[in-house]
Structure 1
């Protein structure tokens, strides 16, 4: 069962962190976590794929401005597994995003749009979200 979570009017600033816990579906093709100001302006589009036509299991990231996608980045080492329970952290750190995956893998993606405040969060695809928490920096 595919799920979607869409939050509007949240306030994430530099130093704030999201924690997501959930289950990647057994037949998962992909899921996404989007951070931005709305669905047309995304500072981070994080898109784990489990059967990408070009690269197989890969982590894809991108940004979107006024509905136009930027150049796609790819991380070839995808530690996420179909059918597994996972805990992930996403942190806004001014000029980039830090993503911490299971097994201690940490990735850094650029904040190409230079968004200082995130007000929109979307989670969707082949992922069953079980827990979601925002940690505000002090």
Structure 2
């Protein structure tokens, strides 16, 4: 399966993109490219079954009361949030263009599914477990202070 959305005009951008009935399986990759707004407070990219059941909530914050700029990841099951994973070294700077690659994969032998992020161009990587043990992702949402220019599932 391959799905691409490319916004060619610099005037045209999404502040929210919501996709339902997607079929993202282990081994598939999600590539998101865009620009973080200069006055960004936060944005998010969610993957799951629907808005109440998220295997991954990827949520960079730029003015967090506790940690300042921080990458926050979490999961949500039946509307209840899990424990946040916080990465203090947020290299996603306001006003910068970023590419985020998310790979939905299972680990060999242990069969623990997880998400692997690679944030380009510096190649920072981060992992987050698939706590809900979802075998397929059918819901994707991108929203917030982020100008989405390219979106691809491959």
Indicate the TM-score class for this superposition, using the shorter chain for normalisation.
Answer: over 0.9
Measure the CA separation in 2 of the matches of 1:79 and 1:109: 17
Residue 52 of structure 2 is aligned to residue 52 of structure 1: no
Pick from 69, 92, 96: which aligns with 1:84?
A: 96
Residue pair 1:88, 1:100 contacting (<8 A) in 2 also: yes
The CA deviation at 1:84 is 0.6
Tell me what 2:131 maps to: 112
Gaps of 5+ in 2: 1-12, 107-112
* Partner SS state of residue 134, structure 2: coil
The CA deviation at 1:76 is 1.0
Give the TM-score taking structure 2 as reference length. Answer: 0.86
Measure the CA separation in 2 of the matches of 1:116 and 1:69: 20
CA displacement, residues 14-69 of structure 1 (integer Å, 9 cap, x when unaligned) = 01001111000000000000000000000000000111110001000000000000
Residue 153 of structure 2 is aligned to residue 130 of structure 1: no
Residue 72 of structure 2 is aligned to residue 71 of structure 1: no
Measure the CA separation in 2 of the matches of 1:58 and 1:2: 23
Measure the CA separation in 2 of the matches of 1:28 and 1:86: 14
Which 4+ runs in 1 deviate beyond 6 A?
none
Residue pair 2:14, 2:148 contacting (<8 A) in 1 also: no
Pick from 103, 114, 117: which aligns with 1:99?
A: 117
Gaps of 5+ in 1: none
* Greater C-alpha radius of gyration: 2
CA RMSD of aligned residues (A): 1.1
The CA deviation at 1:2 is 7.1
Kindly tell me the number of residue pairs found equivalent between the two proteins: 135
* Partner SS state of residue 101, structure 1: strand
